[in-house]
Copies of this chain bind each other. A is one copy, B any other.
Amino acid sequence: MKKLENTIPSCDSCPNEKRVFCSLSQLELGELSINKKNFQYKKGEEIFQEGNYPHGIFCIYSGVIKLSKRGNEGKDQIIRFAKSGDILGYRSMLAKQMYSTTATAMDDVLICQIPIHNFESLLKSSNKMCMKTIELLSDDLKRSENQVLSVSQKRVADRLAEALLTLKDKFGFKEDQQTLNMQITRREIGEMAGITTATTIRTLSDFNKDKLIALHNKDIKLINVAELERLATS
């Protein structure tokens, strides 16, 4: 982790999609930027850890972050990913609770930290921002409840197909419109779906044989998306 000076522009000129801040005026965005700190994290570094207390919210300028929870045998469960424009840590901050997940950089990340005070006062003064926050939380809740159902009832292959499609939806394809645009280990794919690494690799290999996907080194090409979707919803 490295503290940056003036590398990232003020929020009012941030090129990213504004998400929760989309309703704010240029003026309000400027206010948001007061006391904003910028950091750089290298791949693998942790932005915050489950069990620690938040001092502000994070807004991702560039890069990808995974949010995960550690189980009791040291096995991780990936809860979701966040990328540029996404905000992190507001749930814990608003509830004044410890972080319930750990945030880890999946690649090199530039991130802004906004002090609690600035965020909260905007939330209290802007009803639209409140509603937007409710929207974000609702969406996360829906996803999470679906994940409970998946892990509880679906078999490994179906969950793996689901994970691959999640990666597609969140990160898209490379230029060929087939290869997942995301560098991710087999272990992490397993951690998305709640599968052990060995079984993840075995099942990916099955998909490869069945021509649902094609594996080249670490690249994963989705060949038969329709069939993957059939599996994922079955």
Interface residues, chain A, with chain B CB atoms under 8 Å away: 69, 71-73, 75, 77, 79, 91, 94-95, 97, 100-101, 123-125, 127, 130-131, 133-135, 137-142, 144-149, 151-154, 194, 233-234
A44 to chain B, nearest CB (A): 22
- Bound form: Cα–Cα A152–B153 in Å: 10
Count of chain copies: 2
Given A71-B153, A153-B77, A234-B72, A141-B139 contact (CB < 8 Å): no
- Bound form: Cα–Cα A142–B146 in Å: 14
Chain B residues whose CB sits within 8 angstroms of the CB of A146 once the complex forms: 69, 100
- Bound form: Cα–Cα A123–B101 in Å: 29
Q: Would you call the interface of chain A mostly helix, strand, loop, or mixed?
A: helix
Chain B residues whose CB sits within 8 angstroms of the CB of A234 once the complex forms: 72
A98 to chain B, nearest CB (A): 11
Chain B residues whose CB sits within 8 angstroms of the CB of A97 once the complex forms: 142
Q: Which of B73, B79, B127, B148 contacts A130 (CB 8 A)?
A: B127
Chain B residues whose CB sits within 8 angstroms of the CB of A124 once the complex forms: 127, 131
A31 to chain B, nearest CB (A): 17
Chain B residues whose CB sits within 8 angstroms of the CB of A142 once the complex forms: 91, 95, 97, 100
**Which residue of A101, A123, A131, A138 has the most chain B CB atoms within 10 A of its CB atom?**
A138
Flag if B100 contacts A148 (CB, 8 Å).
no
- Bound form: Cα–Cα A146–B147 in Å: 11
**Which residue of A134, A152, A154 has the most chain B CB atoms within 10 A of its CB atom?**
A152
- Bound form: Cα–Cα A153–B101 in Å: 16
Chain B residues whose CB sits within 8 angstroms of the CB of A127 once the complex forms: 124-125, 127, 130
Chain B residues whose CB sits within 8 angstroms of the CB of A154 once the complex forms: 71-72
**Could you pull out 28 A-B pairs where Cβ atoms are within 8 angstroms?**
A71-B152, A71-B153, A72-B154, A73-B153, A77-B149, A77-B152, A94-B131, A95-B138, A95-B139, A95-B142, A97-B142, A100-B142, A100-B146, A101-B145, A127-B130, A130-B130, A130-B131, A130-B134, A133-B134, A134-B134, A137-B138, A141-B141, A144-B144, A147-B148, A148-B148, A148-B194, A151-B151, A152-B194
